[in-house]
Amino acid sequence: MKIGYARVSTFEQKLESQIEVLKEAGAEEVFQEKFTGTTVERPQFNLVFKKLKDGDTLIVTKLDRLARNTREVLEIVQSLFNRGIKVHILNIGLIDNTPTGQLIFTIFSAFAQFERDLIVTRTQEGKNFAKLHDPSFREGRPQKFTEEQIQFAYELKQQGMTYKMIERKTGISIATQKRRFIKAKNQAIDKDY
C-alpha cells in the first residue's frame, strides 16, 4: 500500500496542493495535519507510522515534511527501513533500504539541514541589522490595531463599557483589549508625571 503524508507549518497554509500531488504519485490514502516542524507531537503522522506495514511505501512531497532535522529524519527513515517500508520523497525519489539508497538519503538529509540552518542564520543576521539600523524595527507580527484604535477602545472602557461591548463595537478581541489596555494605562500614568 502507498500512504501519503501531507503537512503544513501554519494554519494559514493550504494542504490541497500537497494532497493532490501525493494522489498523483499513487497514494491510496493521505493523512494530513497542520503542525510546525518544530512540534514534537504530530498525531496524524503517528497514525501513518502505525498503519505502515512491510512492503508499504510512505510518500511525502519534500524531506522537510517528514521531520524537523537531519537526525530525526534519519531515525524515522531507518525505523521505516527496519520494518521493510520504502520512502518516496517526491522531490528526491524513491529511497529503499539498500546501501546506495541510504547513502543518497543521508547526503540529501544533510543538505536539507544545511539549507535550513542557512535560512535561520540569514534571518537572524537580517534581524540584527534591522535592530541596529532601524529604530522602528519590532520583531513578531505587526499589531493589528493602531494606537488610535486602542486608545478609542480604552476610552470606551473608561466610560463603563464592558470588554464584550467594546469587542462588538470595535472588533478588538477581549484578549487584545486586556493586553493593550495595560500599555495604554501605563502611558496615561507616564503622562501624569
- Per annotation, catalytic residue among 9, 109, 136, 173: 9
Q: Is 59 helix (H, G, I), strand (E, B) or coil?
A: strand
Reduced DSSP (H G I as helix, E B as strand, rest coil) percent helix, strand, coil of the chain, to 5: 55, 10, 30
How does DSSP classify residue 171? -
CA 70, CA 52: separation in Å to the nearest integer? 22
Known catalytic membership, residue 136 = no
Going through the chain in order, the beta strands assigned E by DSSP cover 2-8, 29-34, 57-60, 86-89, 93-95
Report residue 158 CA to chain centroid gap: 39
Cell of 148: 488610535
Residue 76: all three cell numbers together: 524515522
The count of other CB atoms within 10 Å of the CB of residue 44 is 16
DSSP classification of residue 37 = T
- What residues are labeled active site? 9
